[in-house]
Amino acid sequence: MKNKNPKYGEYHISEYGSGRLVTTGLKNVTLGINPDECLGLIGPNGSGKSSLLNLITYTNIQTIGNIYYDGIQNKDIKEDHFIMGYCPQNDSLWQELTLYEHLVMFLYLKGYSKSESKSYANQYMKYCKIEEHKNKYPNELSGGTKRKLCILLALICYSNKIMLDEPSSGMDPATRRYIWNIIQNYIKNEHSSIIITTHSMEEAERLCDRVAILVNGEIQCIGSPNHLKMKFNNNYMLEIHCKDTEVLDEVIKKDLVILNNNETIREIKSKNRIKYTFKITNNFSEVFKTLENYKLKNIVYDYSFSQATLEDIFLKFAKRQQNQEI
């Protein structure tokens, strides 16, 4: 069963080892994470994000290639010297232990005395606003609270290497933002390198210094959110609230010639709202000058002019995914 050019996710005979039947999870992934940096991994389902985390956390060993921690190859590090905080995608909690007992146990294993572990556990619960759930078992906790506990267990190892697999899934917006603040403060105070996988573009923009988009097991692009938006999508959106969209459309196309481009997308939201999506690389001031002039003439009530979002970039690359169910 030879498959010389297998698509991503297709079974084929391995070119390495004993010639087993395998699928390729990752291809030519090369990246480094700096101290005090948060790297975001985003990609469609089955793109290889969790596979990459499993290799980085030493859950699985790579078939080929090298992974280094502080300059030391992962295969050469002794297990008791390998310290990493890891919050997996699925909540990994002991059903026999309460929330409080989880924290005490992890702190005790970290090397604190029993009294110190109990004291710090109480402080962490208060800081994360989960003290009311102190004596509850995992099956009695809400999904958001269990997620908080898993993140906290990953952070209290005080490692300079933290992996968070979809940390805010199942949280309400207020809790999500509170957790984001905790993660940001942790990076600042502990000088840690953090990798986060997420499906939330807002989370990626808020937390990550750099974002890597993974599709078909390969990194398609990597850079700061703003860099990616500037490099891969120069689309801008102009949304206008006006008296009459038909009248405005006739006038604005004369004053802003760029809107006559064949690639410009026009969407009439209602009789009073219209949206234009178009490419522009210079003369931004002309857009503002024209719209402000319209406001003075009472043709336009209000408007917004914004750049394409990180989500637009993600969707552009996600179309390349060959198998969504891997």
pLDDT in tens, 159-207: 788 999 998 887 888 889 999 999 988 888 888 889 999 988 999 999 9
Q: Is the pLDDT of residue 323 over 70?
A: no
State the maximum Cα–Cα separation within the chain, in Å, rounded to a whole number: 76
Q: Is the pLDDT of residue 302 over 80?
A: yes
Taking CA atoms, 64 is separated from 32, 55, 78, 323, in Å, by: 17, 11, 20, 23
* Per-residue model confidence (pLDDT) at position 208: 94
Q: Is the pLDDT of residue 238 over 90?
A: yes
Q: Is the pLDDT of residue 141 over 50?
A: yes
Confidence of residue 49 (pLDDT cuts 50, 70, 90): confident
- Sequence-distant (6+) residues with CB within 8 A of 322 are 7, 8, 9, 216
pLDDT, average across residues 9-16 = 69
pTM of the model: 0.78
CA–CA separation, 128 and 134 (whole Å):
12
Percent of the chain clearing pLDDT 70 (strictly above):
92
* Per-residue model confidence (pLDDT) at position 235: 82
- Residue with more model confidence, 74 or 253: 253
Q: Is the pLDDT of residue 210 over 80?
A: yes
Confidence of residue 18 (pLDDT cuts 50, 70, 90): low
pLDDT in tens, 250-280: 999 999 988 988 889 899 999 999 999 888 8
Domains and CATH numbers, the chain: 27-229 (3.40.50.300), 234-307 (3.30.70.260)
* Per-residue model confidence (pLDDT) at position 1: 46
CA–CA separation, 230 and 234 (whole Å):
6
